[in-house]
Amino acid sequence: MSTTNPDTATVTHRGHALHVEQEPGSGPTIVLLHGFPDDRLLHDRLLPYLAGRHVVRFDFLGWGASDKPPGHPRSAHDQTAELAAVVDAVADGPVVLVAHDASGPPAIDFALLAPHRVAGLVLLNTYYGWTPTMRAPEAITLFSTPGLRALARAVARRAPRLDRWLFHWQVGRFITDDTARAELVPRLYADFVPAREAFWRLNADLPRTLLDRRRRARDLARLGVPVRVVFGADDPYLNPRVARALAGWFADAELTLVPHAGHYVQVDAPAAVAERVLTMPSAPDLLDLDRRALAATAAVAEAIPRRRWTAPTPCAGWSVRDVVDHLVENDRAQLAVLGGPDAGRDLRRSGEAVLAAHARPAATDARFDLGGQQRSARASLAVHFADVLVHGWDLARAAGLPYRLDEDLATAAERVVSAFPDLAWGPGAAFAARLDAGPGASAGDRLLALTGRDPGWRPPVTT
């Protein structure tokens, strides 16, 4: 990321420039996403209500002030990658994603891929997969229907006045506030003209996105991220029935229908939207989670008599000594990247050295090789936390010691592990095949089953 003025930055993604604007502040970073046919200007009225928080808004490639590479692919999948590039560049901790309209699928997909990087989702008059209650705006139908869209594109090119009228009519219907409509729609149209190719390509991709994400909708129930669905109640397209269906796909989403607000709910009712954004529950601090996991695991390791260090553990082929050595070697690898001192072979001391190294401001610039990809220090710390926590259970079970995984720690670790790629499970991989914890299982048992462990494992009986 290269700063061009105090509030504006450029994030390069696949050789193209994404235009990013930041408002300085504290708390988890709030990332505002736009749909189509609009851009970052859609959030102008919302920004003052978020004063004091670190707020980021940007234009997807093809829109607003971002690059518009001709022929560049335009899909929800591509926009997920663009969102990831921006989050990597502007936020060290978990972010609150505020998605509107067509940015719903990229925001939700990013949360599914990296739940430990998302403090919350606020979904504004948006969608994920197709539902029978959706009604496409007239212009979207025109430009997304095969057969019609070629004709519609030709007319838009050759009849600019008609194109302008259609935009003002359609986008004007998204806003119930007359003053906001008169101010915002002409500005959005001026930005829309050079973004027309992105609009056409996203419209062509829309039917496929709706059907594909509908098949993935069952995954949303396992997303361990706070979700708030906030819809303008007067939107005839993404209407209250769509809002209820969307909220129902998540395990515990909060639904708010804002009266007298339309499709652009952040324009019609910015104060109501800001309240829902600003009161999102805070994400747990990773350093604190890792510190608590280390304290529990080190206490178990220190309680195991040396004569029991050859005992088998739930990690197939590993003894107690092997598990402890693995944890210490992981600590040494972390310290090698972070520049911290080698703390020797003591599990507690080496873990505390890792925590101290991650707490230094310079740690945010470190990059770690995780599964063949360069990832941030925060991502590495999340993996370290989950590893330390689960292996504490392994050690306790091997030694026959009483041990209970704290539910909040297990829930946080479950979010981290669920984001691992599929190659992390199976023969020779980090985990054995996933097990089914069964209905009503605790967070601890779900975490153990997710990592291929039988929650009922006991050491073999010796004679």
CATH of range 286-450; options 3.50.50.60, 1.10.3720.10, 1.20.120.450, 1.20.120.530: 1.20.120.450
pLDDT tens-digit readout, 132-179 = 999 988 888 888 777 787 888 888 788 889 889 999 999 999 999 899
| pLDDT score of 2 | 40
CA atoms of 104 and 110, how far apart (whole Å): 10
Residues 6+ apart with CB under 8 A from 215: 129
| pLDDT score of 100 | 98
Show the CA angle centred on residue 101, arms to residues 376 and 24, nearest 5°.
Answer: 45
Q: 3-class DSSP state for residue 253?
A: coil
Per the structure block, which two tokens stand in for 379? 């991502």
pLDDT tens-digit readout, 393-431 = 999 999 998 888 988 899 889 888 887 777 778 887 788
Task: Give the count of beta carbons closer than 10 Å to the beta carbon of residue 367.
Answer: 13
Residues in the chain: 463
CA-nearest of 165, 146, 279 to 206 is 146
Q: Strand 2-5 relative to strand 8-13: parallel, antiparallel, unpaired?
A: antiparallel
Residues of the chain by 3-state class (helix, strand, coil), percent to 5: 50, 15, 35
Terminal Cα distance for the chain, rounded: 63
Q: What is the mean pLDDT of residues 440-454?
A: 92
Q: 3-class DSSP state for residue 342?
A: coil
Identity at 64, one-letter amino acid code: G
Run of H or E residues at 22: strand 16-23
Q: What is the mean pLDDT of residues 303-311?
A: 93
Break the chain into its structural domains and give their ranges.
2-278, 286-450
Residues 42 and 188: beta-carbon distance below 8 Å:
yes
| pLDDT score of 125 | 98
pLDDT tens-digit readout, 60-102 = 999 999 999 988 778 899 999 999 999 989 987 789 999 999 9
pLDDT tens-digit readout, 223-280 = 778 899 999 999 999 999 999 999 999 978 999 999 999 999 999 999 999 999 999 8
Residues 6+ apart with CB under 8 A from 14: 81
Q: One fold for both 2-278 and 286-450?
A: no
Residues 6+ apart with CB under 8 A from 193: none
| pLDDT score of 462 | 62
More confident residue, 217 or 391: 391
Residues 73 and 202: beta-carbon distance below 8 Å:
no
CA-CA-CA-CA dihedral for 109, 115, 116, 121, to nearest 10: 80
pLDDT tens-digit readout, 221-239 = 877 788 999 999 999 999 9
CATH of domain 2-278: 3.40.50.1820
Q: What does pLDDT average to over the chain?
A: 89
Q: What is the pTM of this model?
A: 0.68
CA atoms of 242 and 135, how far apart (whole Å): 9
Determine which of 124-133, 147-156, 188-197 has the lowest per-residue pLDDT on average. Answer: 147-156
CA atoms of 439 and 33, how far apart (whole Å): 36
Per the structure block, which two tokens stand in for 26? 């504290």
- pLDDT over 50 (residue 1): no
| pLDDT score of 46 | 97
Q: 3-class DSSP state for residue 27?
A: strand
CA dist list (Å): 451 to 202, 437, 446: 38, 11, 9
> Could you tell me what percent of the chain has a pLDDT over 70?
98
Per the structure block, which two tokens stand in for 295? 């304290």
Residue 218 CA to chain centroid, in angstroms? 17
